[in-house]
Structures are given as structure tokens and as C-alpha cells.
Amino acid sequence: MLQRRTSQSAEAVQRGRMPQWYYVMLHPSANLSAAEKQQLIAGLGNTFGSEGGFRGEGFPVGGGRSGD
């Protein structure tokens, strides 16, 4: 269960759904760069484990936001 949520969280970061747009609008410094997203994804995998091959590394980082 925890590993599945970790994977879902990493996917949300990777796809640009986290942090949410309205949070970034209020807190511009929360807009993560591609490198910061990769570090967060890796940290999630290293801290909480992985499922289905997710290891927190090599996860493609993108999303619809500028600065990726």
C-alpha cells in the first residue's frame, strides 16, 4: 500500500501535477526545476521503497510547466 502511494506520488511529480498550480501561484518558489523533481522522486523511492520497478531514478521528468 505504501509503495503504491509512493509510486503515485512520484508519478504526480513527474507529470507536473504536484505541486498543484494554485499552490505554486501563491508560493512561486515551490515551482520545482527538472533537477529538483528528479531529486524528490529519487528521495521518495529511497525513503519509502518501490513497487513495479519504480526505484526513484531514471524516472523521466517532464510535465506541462515552464522551466522543465
For residue 63 the three cell numbers come to 510535465
The SS3 assignment for 14 reads: helix
Whether omega for the bond prior to residue 28 falls within 30 degrees of 0, making it cis, is no
**pLDDT class of 65 with cuts at 50, 70, 90:** very low
In the chain, which ranges are continuous DSSP H helix? Answer: 2-14, 21-26, 34-48
**Residue extents of the structural domains in the chain:** 2-47
- C-alpha R_g of the chain: 12
pTM listed for this prediction: 0.65
Q: How confident is the model at residue 66 (pLDDT cuts 50, 70, 90)?
A: very low
Encode pLDDT of 11-62 as tens digits. 999 998 999 999 999 999 999 999 999 999 999 988 887 654 454 445 455 4
